[in-house]
Amino acid sequence: MNKMKNSVYLRIFGAFLATYIILMVAFTAFLVSLEMEAAGKEFASQAPQISKRTEEILNDNIDNNKQITDLAGVKKEFVRRSPVDMLNGAEAALFTSDYKLIYSTYSPKDYWTCVYTESMEENIGRDGYGLLKPSEWLSKEEVIELENYLYAQPKVEKIGDLAGYAIHVDGFWMDDEMIIPHSISVSTMYARELDEEGNVGARSGTINKGNFYNKDYDNFKNLPYYENGSIIPKYKEEDGRGIPGYDEKLTSKNQEDLRQMVRDQSKLSNHFKHLFKNPSPYMEPVERVSNLSYRYYMVIPYQSNIRVLDDQSYFSEFYTAVGIDINIWERISSTLVYVWLSCLTIFGIAAFILSKQTYKTYLKREEIERQRKETTDALAHDLKTPLSIISGYAQNLQEDVQTEKREHYASNILKSVDRMDKIIHQMLDMTKLESDSFEIKVEEVSLREISGEIINRYKSICDEKFIEVDLSGEAFIKADKSLLERVIDNFFVNAIENTLEGGNIKIEILSDAFEIYNRGNHIPEDIIKDIWLPYKRGDSERSNTKGTGLGLSIARSILELHKFPYGVRNKDKGVTFWFKFKNS
């Protein structure tokens, strides 16, 4: 039995698991496609903001013919106001109309931003910005040491504590936006002010020029020379606040590949051809970077205006190429995890309920099959006895044996035929009652009236056995009168058959129940529930009856049709059969 149970559970759980996986994979694919479309639309709406920043910088440094008048100024302004600051993780590049690269974004690890005093106007310094490529001027060890100074975060508890370091570029030459260092120094900074939360509000230290790096440069280009510059550390977000350091993602290989893509002139020249030939309602990714990470690329012409020339080529004074890697998993992971776990729970519960119900159905079917076999065997046995009697008496009549008993033989044959007829009719009644098409005719019924009629019907039998019958109570209920009469008749007959001579039967009609008690042997508790099944009786002392073995089964079917609870219980020196009802 356990093997069958395991088999049922395994098959159902396996089917549910397969269905669950198929549905979840399909849902995941659908959600990924939706999120890719949404990511493309978001990027398409955000990329023009980068182009707008680019246009603002260009407009301050171009003439009426849209020609750049101060290329170095443009590049320095890009360092000061990086367009990609408006879209975290994006990379951008600016091109001329003939696809020549003007400027592109860079890795914060490979290039350091430097602020310096570019000019003085009325004793007010005007800041300039440039880039220092440390690997070009310093050794690897020196770069690491300077980075450690730049991003140091000492714990400050009181004024005067070490609050970090400042890196100064004390003298340098400017080649467009690139800084050529002459002298670099590191200053130890101490806390001068602390706010209420213990954060450093101001710090100070002494500059010792050239204490870290000092080297001359052959200024054959006659480049301008400046003093008083400082390296600006990058900041990254951590736990909702900015801390010194750069996002490791911006220094990854994938990010460098993205920078190379936005700098690619061939990518730019082919972009519009592909765009006009294959228009799409949303921005599609150009490639997959990793599992669920996709790369998006967009080119925005200057002032969002592009012209088609006579040779069918495309023209704009400037182009801004923007690219970004979007991790779809990071966007949908929480939703997917919730849906997968929720559906797994639901599928698991459903599979368990269905498995349990299926196994119950299997047990019920097995029980029905067992009962059918037992009923068939019992029916065959019950029919075999009268058939044997008929066969024996018929043979005697045929052979003219003891002719003086012919009437006795005929009488017994008729009795056996009547018994067989009764068995068959009750079997047909059982089948009819258990069919789905059977309908009951409900009317108002007096239980006392029916009980009195049945008592009178069997009065002679009760008198022969000296059985005392007591009837008390009254109730009117909605039921099928003929069927309910049959229930009480079967209960009463069963009581008569199992009451010893001189015993008593008591019928009690309560406000919500009908009970019939007979004085006699108890029904063993281990089989008391089975007596409602066909051909099931109590112990051997209660089985010496002439009934068909179907009476209580028929009563059970009728009560279940009426949805009346029913049962049997052993009582003091007897047994009580009962059913409950609602008053009409």
Considering only residues 224 and 243, tell me which one the structure prediction assigns the higher pLDDT: 224
What is the secondary structure of 465-481 as a DSSP string?
TT-EEEEE---EEEE-H
Q: 33-37, 358-362, 376-380, 526-530 — which one is most confidently predicted on average?
A: 33-37
Torsion region of 114: left, alpha or beta (phi above 0 gives left; psi -120 to 50 gives alpha) = beta
Q: Which two tokens stand for residue 419?
A: 């018994």
Pairing of strands 468-472, 504-509: parallel
How do the domains of the chain map onto residue ranges?
109-246, 436-580
CATH label, 436-580, candidates 2.60.40.420, 3.40.50.720, 3.30.565.10, 3.40.50.150: 3.30.565.10
Q: Can you give the pLDDT at residue 308?
A: 81
Kind plus residue range of the DSSP H or E element containing 488 = helix 481-497
Average pLDDT estimate for 178-185: 92
Q: 293-297, 312-316, 439-443 — which one is most confidently predicted on average?
A: 293-297
Measured distance CA(109)–CA(134) in Å, rounded? 9
Question: Considering only CA atoms, which of 337, 335, 323 is closest in space to residue 293?
Answer: 323
Average pLDDT estimate for 437-454: 87
Angle CA 367–370–373, to nearest 5: 150
Q: Can you give the pLDDT at residue 309?
A: 81
Q: Which residue has the tokens 């007897």?
A: 574
Is residue 534 within 8 Å of residue 423, measured between CB atoms? no
- Across 32-41, 217-226, 400-409, least confident range: 400-409
Considering only residues 385 and 472, tell me which one the structure prediction assigns the higher pLDDT: 472
pLDDT tier for residue 545 given thresholds of 50, 70 and 90 = very low
Whether the pLDDT of residue 227 is over 80: the answer is yes
Average pLDDT estimate for 493-520: 92
Q: Can you give the pLDDT at residue 547?
A: 46
- Across 145-159, 247-261, 303-317, 363-377, least confident range: 363-377
Average pLDDT estimate for 265-280: 76
Burial 422-443 (b: 16+ CB within 10 A, else e): ebeebbebbeebeeeeeeeeee
Q: Which two tokens stand for residue 49?
A: 């903001």
Q: Can you give the pLDDT at residue 196?
A: 82
- Across 188-192, 218-222, 297-301, 306-310, least confident range: 306-310
pLDDT tier for residue 543 given thresholds of 50, 70 and 90 = very low
Q: Can you give the pLDDT at residue 476?
A: 93
Q: Can you give the pLDDT at residue 328?
A: 93
Whether the pLDDT of residue 341 is over 90: the answer is yes
Whether the pLDDT of residue 241 is over 80: the answer is no
Q: Round the average pLDDT of the chain to a whole number and report it.
A: 85
Whether the pLDDT of residue 449 is over 70: the answer is yes
pTM of the model: 0.64
Q: Which two tokens stand for residue 301?
A: 């012409």
Sequence letter at residue 311: D
Task: Quote the percentage of the chain above a pLDDT of 70.
Answer: 85
HEC sequence for 271-307: HHHHHHHCCCCCCCCCEEEECCEEEEEEEEEHHHCCE
Q: Can you give the pLDDT at residue 175?
A: 93
Q: Can you give the pLDDT at residue 383?
A: 61
